[in-house]
Amino acid sequence: MRWQRAREANTAAHVRGVRVQSDAHMSWTLQYRRAFAAIGDGWVVELMKTYLPDADVFGFGFDAACVLKAIWDREHNPPKDKRFTFWPDFSDVKARRMERQARASDGDSSPFADAIIAVVHDLVKADSGEDAHRHALQLAKSAFSMPYGNRTGVIDTLLQLPRPLAEKEDLLRVLVLAGEIVRADMVLDGIKALLEEAKTNRWRLDESRGELEGWLELLPFSDRPEATLDALELLDPNLRQPWRLRRLLSALGYAPSSAAEHVLNLLPQKDARFLSEHDWLVALDKRGTVSAARMLLELICGGAFAGAKGGLDTWMLSKGLESAIRSHANFRAEVCERYEGLPAGPGKAVLEHATAEVADAEGVLILVRGHAAQGRSFDGVLHSAIRHVAVGERPSADWAGANEVFSVPVPELRKRLFAMVINNDDTAEARLAEACLTAIDELRDDYGSVESEPRHPDIDSGRPWPLAAGQL
């Protein structure tokens, strides 16, 4: 290859002490890769296939595979509009794994992946040599980033190649993203090898490099997600700090196995600092299961967060419950039941805010009774609950990006609040119920009345509304 010959000539000239003006030391393969991908026609595809076997360090084999992947992505996998992160996005792993399990047979396969895997078949032979094996692992990253059908035999052969585990880490990650289940023992061995090398090269564990974090985030997607806890036991206390495990927490949030959820539950039991880590709470929310929501509810009601320093406040915790209430209809009743049974304190305040932000009619009544029992007056929490029940929003038909706010009929709620007013005389509960009815009327003044809803909360009661009308 001309580039290789130019580099060799440049090196030889330097050895002889001759100064040569040359850019032979500069690699332009990235620019060529982008240019070929931009052209992306049939001629380029066939040309790239001819380069794939090139395992030489100065060759274009790996770049050719990247070109084929780029062309396939442009045609079949448009980029997502997602927030940029510095680590892999595992949000689609659950769907990919379900698809892979549903296709027990070969399934669909990209012709580009087939072409690359055909070359890999030749490279992984036992007598192919180290360079060929290393090149096979590189090519496989592109091949398995596209649909590839059932290639269990090839995958097993690649992972068993006599190469350092560090060279297989990227392939393991690609396989996870494709929906494959990797072996926990291999990931643990990779972590152990890294820790051993770090004894003499401590910089290998620098957070900026992300090597350790890259290995750890694979365990939740392995055949034994609980091995995550075994891996953490291998680390020095400084490396186990929750803020250093944010990538792992994110992976636990997306991992399909229920065992990953169990690990999330055990982490704060082993280290209470996780209760102050926002990414731990986000991981629970990502699980999207009622069991994860109950886990959070139990911790809140048990006062686990009361002693946590910094991190998660009432607003953040209530947001976690709100998301679960919206996703699981029956969970609302559990939150309300626990709210009524809790004494005043931080836990009750969290449940109160969550109930108010996703309130229904029953939730408003529960909050009224709770406020009355604590001797509290009408406040922002109750007003927020009333607004969520009595006011709705919908996208504007005339103005893109804007919402229309409108009144929602709540005749049954108004009737029950009015019953509280007239049946409890001048008690705290009656005063709060009257304040809620007044707040609803004020919202009607702001956003319009509801034709199907009578002005009076319960005309059959024979009592006036507003109450002051009876004193005229």
* pLDDT (0 to 100) of residue 84: 53
User: For residues 65 and 142, is the Cβ–Cβ distance under 8 A?
Assistant: yes
CB atoms near residue 242 (< 10 Å): 21
- What kind and span of H or E run contains 288? none
Beta bridge partners of 395: 403
Query: In the prediction, which pLDDT does 83 show?
Result: 55
Q: Which of 315, 421, 293 is CA-nearest to residue 365?
A: 421
Supply the pTM of this predicted model. 0.86
Output the pLDDT for position 284: 94
Tokens 């001048």 belong to residue:
426
B/e letters for 68-107, b = 16+ CB within 10 Å, e = fewer, are: bbbbbeeeeeeeeeeeeeeebebeebbebbeebeeeeeee
Would the pLDDT of 26 be above 80?
no
- Which residue type, as a one-letter code, is found at position 118? A
Tell me, what's the pLDDT at 233? Answer: 96
What is the distance between the alpha carbons of residues 331 and 79, in angstroms, rounded to a whole number? 36
Mean pLDDT of all residues in 354-365: 95
Which is higher by pLDDT, 150 or 309? Answer: 150
Residue 23: the pLDDT is 60
Domain map of the chain by residue range? 23-177, 181-267, 371-472
Alpha-carbon distance of 425 to 467, in angstroms, equals 12
Give the residue, 3 or 97, on which the prediction is more confident. 97
pLDDT digits over 261-293, tens only? 999 999 999 999 999 999 999 999 999 999 999
Predicted confidence at residue 472, as pLDDT, reads: 44
pLDDT value at residue 134: 94
Average pLDDT, the chain: 89
Mean predicted confidence (pLDDT) in 23-40: 81
What is the CB neighbour count within 10 angstroms for residue 461?
A: 15
Phi, psi of 150 (to 5 degrees): -100, 105
Q: What is the mean pLDDT of residues 68-90?
A: 78
Interval 205-221 mean pLDDT: 93
pLDDT at 199: 93
In the predicted model, what is the mean pLDDT of residues 167-194? 96
User: Which one, of 376, 442, 467, lies nearest residue 368 by Cα?
Assistant: 376
Euclidean distance between CA atoms 31 and 37, whole angstroms: 10
State the pLDDT at residue 16: 64
Q: How many CA atoms lie within 13 A of 229 on its CB side?
A: 15
Chain segment 236-262, per-residue pLDDT in tens: 999 999 999 999 999 999 999 999 999
